[in-house]
């Protein structure tokens, strides 16, 4: 089951990065977003390590980073217009 958690981290942070990368097209802003989301993941892992019922895990941080990197590059493809296309579909409906 640990692999399921890693996939969850990849999907969650990937979706977060992909969503905001569509809202902010400038490369500099996207890099700042990626750094900020990675820092968020590190801070959350550190906070979990301070709690008695959660664990600090470097693998979770790596999974977060993998999701961010995948989404960063996907947002440079034609997929960067996915939210715009979805908005158009909703507006027509």
Longest dimension (CA), the chain: 51
pLDDT digits (tens, 9 = 90+) for 19-75: 999 999 999 999 999 999 999 999 999 999 999 888 899 999 999 999 999 999 999
Sketch the domain layout of the chain as residue ranges: 2-92
- Binned at pLDDT 50, 70 and 90, residue 1 comes out as low
CB 67 within 8 A of CB 17: yes
- For residue 15, which of 56, 77, 68 has the smallest C-alpha distance? 68
Give the pLDDT score at 67: 98
């Amino acid at each position: 089951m640990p692999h399921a958690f890693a996939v969850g981290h990849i999907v969650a942070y990937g979706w977060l990065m992909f969503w905001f990368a569509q809202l902010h097209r400038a490369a500099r802003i996207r890099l700042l977003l990626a750094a900020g989301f990675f820092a968020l993941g590190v801070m959350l892992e550190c906070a979990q390590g301070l709690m008695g019922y959660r664990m600090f895990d470097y693998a979770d941080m790596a999974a977060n980073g993998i999701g961010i990197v995948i989404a960063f590059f996907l947002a440079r493809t034609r997929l960067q217009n996915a939210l715009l296309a979805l908005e158009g579909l909703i507006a027509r409906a």
